[in-house]
């Protein structure tokens, strides 16, 4: 346990405070002078393993390129090609109102698609999570969605796609 605590960058006092026990109790546990309750061991392990997990903020793409509902598909397509991205959040008055995707554009292909506006073919927004969400949670969301929007106080600060998750591996 001491090794894990040190790897997490915590002192005995800091860990004790987080667990809700005394520093002396942590010292006794590490020195194997006391057999802690299972609930105490579980709290310690949860804290120490949780601190090692990567968070959204560590792998997300920042400076997310967004569009607005009135933008023409031609411009959105050009942006997607230029930046090699397959989807853009649609933002109106600071709020995420939808997503425009390559797949959505292809589904609506027609001779006048380039003049169509985003709001007519946009899809619902991707799920969003706070920036301190761990990657275990993100992984499960990405099993059913192409991406996850990352927010701070309700404002978009990043996006994580399946390819971002693969980069971590």
CATH number, position 137:
3.10.580.10
Residue 74 sits in which domain range?
A: 57-168
pLDDT score of 51 more than 70: no
Q: What distance in Å separates the CA atoms of residue 109 and residue 115, rounded to the nearest whole number?
A: 11
Structure-token pair, residue 12: 């005995």
Same-domain check for residues 125 and 101: yes
User: What is the mean pLDDT of the segment spanning 20-48?
Assistant: 89
Query: How many structural domains is the chain composed of?
Result: 2
Same-domain check for residues 147 and 85: yes
User: What is the mean pLDDT of the segment spanning 140-155?
Assistant: 90
Check which CATH number belongs to the domain holding 6 and give it. Answer: 1.10.260.40
Same-domain check for residues 10 and 80: no
Give the pLDDT band of residue 94 (cuts 50, 70, 90): confident
- Is 79 within 8 Å of 87 (Cβ atoms)? no
* Complete DSSP assignment for 126-153: PPEEETT-BHHHHHHHHTTSSEEEEEET
SS3 69: coil
Question: What are the backbone angles phi and psi of residue 68, rounded to the nearest 5°?
Answer: -115, 160
Decide which of 13, 33, 52 is a domain's last residue.
52
Inter-CA distances, 9 with 2, 5, 19, 33, 108, Å: 11, 6, 15, 23, 52
* Whole-number average pLDDT of the chain: 89
Same-domain check for residues 126 and 79: yes
């Amino acid at each position: 346990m001491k090794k894990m605590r040190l790897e997490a960058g915590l002192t005995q006092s800091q860990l004790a405070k987080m667990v809700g026990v005394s520093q002396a109790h942590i010292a006794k546990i590490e020195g194997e002078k006391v057999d802690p309750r299972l609930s105490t061991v579980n709290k310690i392990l949860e804290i120490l393993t949780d601190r090692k997990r990567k968070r959204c903020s560590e792998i997300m793409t920042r400076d997310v390129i967004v569009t607005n509902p009135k933008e023409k598909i031609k411009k959105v397509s050009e942006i997607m090609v230029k930046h090699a991205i397959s989807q853009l959040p649609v933002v109106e008055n600071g709020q995420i109102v939808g997503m425009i995707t390559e797949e959505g554009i292809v589904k609506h292909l027609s001779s006048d698609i380039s003049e169509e506006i985003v709001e007519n073919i946009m899809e619902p927004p991707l799920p969003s999570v706070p920036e301190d969400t761990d990657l275990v949670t993100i992984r499960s969301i990405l099993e059913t969605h192409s991406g996850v929007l990352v927010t701070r106080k309700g404002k978009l600060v990043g996006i994580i796609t399946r390819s971002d998750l693969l980069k971590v591996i």
